[in-house]
Structure 1
Amino acid sequence: MSAPSEFDWNHIRAFLATAEAGSLSAAARQLRQTQPTLSRQVAALEADLGVLLFERIGRSLVLTEAGADLLEHTRAMGDAAERVALAASGQAQSIEGRVRITASDVWSAYVLPEALRRIRDQAPRLEIEVIAANDIRDLMRREADIAIRHVRPDQPDLIARLVREATAHFYAASHYLDRRGRPAAKDDLASHDFIAFGDVIEMLGHLTPLGLPLTRANFRLGSQSGVVAWDYVRQGFGIAPMDDGVAALTSGVERVLPEMEPLVFPVWLTAHREVHTSRRIRLVFDILADYLSA
């Protein structure tokens, strides 16, 4: 893909809107332009770059490989341009209304606070409601405006951005390990107590393929609340897997089997497509994306 001789933000904006809306007509409505105008701008960008950015399948436009590659770069540009526009007009300070964010209870308690401070600094008149829930709240039914999930949603009216590949390890309180001994190998875990996060059978379904010699007998304590289960770990009741970032914020715990390969899980930031037309939702979405990507 060759770089255009002159940068035209209008062409980039047209491409970005079309890629995220999925059609020229929807993008034209979003940008308040005519469809032919938008089509010419996208075509001009394709001509400048010398590549095909979209393929038409039925009534929908599908990104080509070159288009998908360009999208990752233009999203960052679009987010930056939006923030500059808000800051320049002073509108960030005047944006108001309620935005509901849903995340697991552990992430709500440990990960989100710093992001919430940034939101408050940039838009002090916003009302933020955090829905701390370990089930998946339905964005289509507007049970929340923005969701932080570990699986990508497949509903066509939702947009999702992969913001992080997070890692996790096993952790326990130092005083628990002082009392019960520090495992040196996976086989040593068979004699230890574990804390269940939710359903034990489901948890074993994730842990057994890792070669861990665990059975239901290892899980004699647990909770549907991730915050409660993690506090049981902190209080010395046993071992549990935890996001490394959360563990780093928790005093008195240490990594078990520190040489073990980390558990890796995706973090998706998801919202209804209204994120493009609601400035308060877009502002919160962008701040969360920046924070979680860091």
Structure 2
Amino acid sequence: MNWQSITFDWNQARAFLVTAEEGTLSAAARALGLTQPTLSRQVAALEQALGVTLFERVAKSLVLTEAGLELVEHVRTMGDAASRVSLSASGQSQQIEGLVTISATDLMAAHVLPDILAELRQKAPGVEIRLLCTNSLSDLRRREADIAVRHVQPDHPDLYARKIREAPARIFGARSFVEGHGRKLTRADAPTLDFIGFDNNEELVVYLRAFGLDVSEANIRLSSPNGVVAWELVRQGFGLSIMADEIAARFPGIVPAFEDVDPITFPIWLVTHRELHTSRRIRTVFDHLAEGLLRVRPERRAR
């Protein structure tokens, strides 16, 4: 079929594309912020307009038919073109007002960014900030966010990144947990201790071993993909976990867990799309975040 000779509604095409990428109607509806019946109607309307079946249901998933496989590449190309147009238009805007979406981890959004954003409201009161709290990497090229605070360096040429600094992190616990053993803890105690997991327990074990701790996933008896919840479990004495010094320093009841384990550092990167970096609005927020994140330092703490 010659897809290029057929015109159809872009909302229907986008519904089809996201459904193809997500694999289920429920996941696609969440990604687009639509109800599942609305999304289903849009996909069905596209199938009716084209006169083809685009999906087959296999178990609980949707699988593209041959016609769907052929169409999805055309629609993806259309989506990429639409994103480039949107990025170019946003990049030309010189007004310091409007929405800017910042992607950051939930812990950074809750405990580090508020002070920085309070100053931004004074500097640029016309800017509206939306915080996208996620521990995964947002796709800036698809405008999931305008600016991202990341801990890994991006490798795509369309992205502009600035390394802000290296931030120290160590293993912390509630004072009641750490001092409840009647003596100072050392790394030799690690195999017998409980740890609190965040998003990926297997990955956390790798980080803990980088501190020189002999632990396994069996040591992680409680976890939550929500960083704020996981940190609250640490605060309430359920176990130990890794945390940036600048966040842990905000909680008086939290202390470093081990006297013989040195901190490690992790990078803080600020990332945006190269075209968005020419927008005065985006540039203002980007530069303000960079300045604010550079100033953040943990307070000195006594054991």
**What TM-score comes out, normalization by structure 1 length?**
0.66
What is the aligned partner in structure 1 of residue 63 from structure 2?
none
Query: Does the aligned pair in 2 maintain the 1:139–1:272 contact within 8 Å?
Result: yes
Q: After TM superposition, where is structure 1 displaced by more than 6 Å over at least 4 residues in a row?
A: none
In structure 2, what is the equivalent of residue 151 of structure 1?
152
- Coordinate RMSD, CA, aligned: 1.6
Aligned partners of 1:231 and 1:158: how far apart in 2?
34
**Residue 229 of structure 2 corresponds to residue 238 of structure 1:** no
Structure 1 letter corresponding to 2:243:
M
Q: CA deviation at 1:268?
A: 0.3
Asked if 1:104 is matched to 2:105, the reply is yes
Q: 1:181 to 1:224 in 2, by over 3 A?
A: farther
CA offset at residue 208 of structure 1?
Answer: 2.1
By how many angstroms is 1:231 displaced?
Answer: 0.5
Change (3 A) 1:290 1:258: farther
SS in 2 for 1:177: helix
**Is 1:102–1:132's contact at 8 Å kept on the other side of the alignment?**
yes
Superposed, which structure 2 residues align to 1:74-93 within 5 Å? none
In structure 2, the CA distance between the partners of 1:231 and 1:247, relative to structure 1 (3 Å rule), is same
Q: Determine helix, strand or coil for the equivalent of 1:98.
A: strand
Q: What amino acid sits opposite 2:244 in the alignment?
A: D
2:263 & 2:233 partners in 1: Cα distance? 22
Deviations along 1:247-280, one digit per CA (max 9) or x if unpaired, are 0112311111244221110000000112332111
> Aligned residue for 2:194?
193
Change (3 A) 1:113 1:202: same
Q: 232-241 or 271-280, which moves further after superposition?
A: 271-280
> What's the CA shift for 1:216?
1.9
Match of 2:212 in 1: 211
CA distance in 1, matches of 2:124, 2:182: 49
Structure 2 letter corresponding to 1:220:
R
Equivalence map 1:1-294=2 (5 Å): 95-294=96-295
Name the amino acid aligned to 2:189.
Answer: D
Cα 1:143/1:151, change in 2 over 3 Å: same
Structure 1 residues 270 and 181 mapped into 2: Cα distance closer, same or farther (>3 Å)? farther
Deviations 1:51-99 (A, max 9, x none): xxxxxxxxxxxxxxxxxxxxxxxxxxxxxxxxxxxxxxxxx9x721000
Q: Distance in 1 between matches of 2:202 and 2:160?
A: 32
Q: Would the aligned equivalents of 1:182 and 1:256 in 2 still touch at CA under 8 Å?
A: no
SS of the residue aligned with 2:213?
Answer: coil
Deviates more, 1:180-189 or 1:108-117: 180-189
1:185 Cα offset (Å):
1.8
Cα shift at 1:181: 4.2
Distance in 2 of aligned mates of 1:255 and 1:210: 13
SS at match of 2:140: coil
TM-score by length of 2: 0.64
Instruction: List alignment gaps of at least 5 residues for structure 1.
Output: 1-91
Q: How far apart, CA to CA, are the structure 2 residues paired with 1:227 and 1:181?
A: 29
* Match in the other structure for 2:57: none
Distance 1:182 1:291 in 2: 39
SS in 2 for 1:220: strand
CA offset at residue 239 of structure 1?
A: 0.5
